[in-house]
Amino acid sequence: MSYHILNLRSVVAYVKSRTEAASLLDVTGVLAAQEISDGNLNAVFRVAEVSGPRSVLVKQGLPYLRVAGEVWPLSQERADFEARSLARQHAAAPGLVPRPLWHDHEMAVNVMEDLREHTVIRAPMIAGIRLENLGETIGRFLAATFYESSDFALGSTARRQLSAQFQNVELCDLTEMLVLTEPFYPPPNRNAYLPELQKDLNDLQADAPLRTEVARLKHRFMTCGQALLHGDLHTGSIMASAPDAQGLSNIRVIDSEFAFFGPMGFDIGLFLANLVLAAISQAGHAPDPAECQARHTFLRRQMRSCWTTFEAEFRQRLGSAQSPSWREGAFQDALLTSVLQDAAGYAGCELIRRTVGFAHVLDYDSLQPDAARLSAGQQNLKLGRQLIMQASALRTYDEFEHAVWSELGYAALQPLQQGET
Closest distance to its own copies from the beta carbon of 408 (Å): 30
Pattern of binders to its own copies over 335-374, x per CB under 8 A?
A: x---------------------------------------
- Please say which residue, 132 or 328, places its beta carbon nearer to its own copies: 328
Is 326 a binding residue for its own copies by CB under 8 A? The answer is yes
Q: Which of 345, 305, 361 is nearest to 125 (CA)?
A: 361
Closest distance to its own copies from the beta carbon of 314 (Å): 14
Contact 99, 112 (CB under 8 A): yes
Is 322 a binding residue for its own copies by CB under 8 A? The answer is no
Closest distance to its own copies from the beta carbon of 172 (Å): 6
- Which residues, 183 to 242, sit near its own copies by CB under 8 A? 185, 208-209, 211-212, 214-216, 218-219, 222-226
DSSP letter for 416, please.
P
Is 77 a binding residue for its own copies by CB under 8 A? The answer is no
C-alpha distances in Å from residue 399, one per residue of 326, 336, 351: 26, 14, 18
DSSP letter for 28, please.
T
Contact 64, 88 (CB under 8 A): no
- In terms of C-beta density within 10 A (0-12 exposed, 13-18 middle, 19 or more buried), how is residue 106 classed? exposed
Q: Is 241 helix (H, G, I), strand (E, B) or coil?
A: strand
Q: How many residues bind its own copies (CB under 8 A)?
A: 42
Is 73 a binding residue for its own copies by CB under 8 A? The answer is no
- Please say which residue, 331 or 409, places its beta carbon nearer to its own copies: 331
First to last CA, the chain: 51
CA trace torsion 283, 286, 292, 297 (10° rounding)? -100
DSSP letter for 227, please.
E
Q: Is 187 helix (H, G, I), strand (E, B) or coil?
A: coil
Q: Which stretch binds its own copies (CB under 8 A): 89-97, 152-160, 373-381, 400-408?
A: 152-160
Q: Which of 171, 163, 168 is nearest to 88 (CA)?
A: 163
Q: Which stretch binds its own copies (CB under 8 A): 25-33, 320-328, 342-350, 353-361?
A: 320-328
> Contacting its own copies (CB under 8 A), which of 89, 137, 168, 297?
168
Q: Is 359 helix (H, G, I), strand (E, B) or coil?
A: coil
Closest distance to its own copies from the beta carbon of 87 (Å): 19
Q: Which of 163, 150, 157 is nearest to 227 (CA)?
A: 150
Is 395 a binding residue for its own copies by CB under 8 A? The answer is no
Contact 101, 111 (CB under 8 A): yes
- Which residues, 16 to 55, sit near its own copies by CB under 8 A? none
Is 389 a binding residue for its own copies by CB under 8 A? The answer is no
Closest distance to its own copies from the beta carbon of 167 (Å): 4
Is 169 a binding residue for its own copies by CB under 8 A? The answer is yes
Closest distance to its own copies from the beta carbon of 308 (Å): 23
Contact 383, 276 (CB under 8 A): yes
d(CA 24, CA 19): 10
Cross-strand pairs, 103: 110
Q: How far is CA 326 from the centre of its chain?
A: 27
> Contacting its own copies (CB under 8 A), which of 7, 17, 34, 161?
161
- Please say which residue, 80 or 136, places its beta carbon nearer to its own copies: 80
The single-letter code of the amino acid at 353 is R
Is 72 a binding residue for its own copies by CB under 8 A? The answer is no
d(CA 194, CA 417): 38
Q: Which stretch binds its own copies (CB under 8 A): 62-70, 81-89, 106-114, 166-174?
A: 166-174
Is 415 a binding residue for its own copies by CB under 8 A? The answer is no
Would you tell me which residues interact with its own copies (CB under 8 A)?
151, 155-157, 159-161, 163-164, 167-170, 172-173, 176, 180-181, 185, 208-209, 211-212, 214-216, 218-219, 222-226, 323-326, 328, 330-331, 334-335
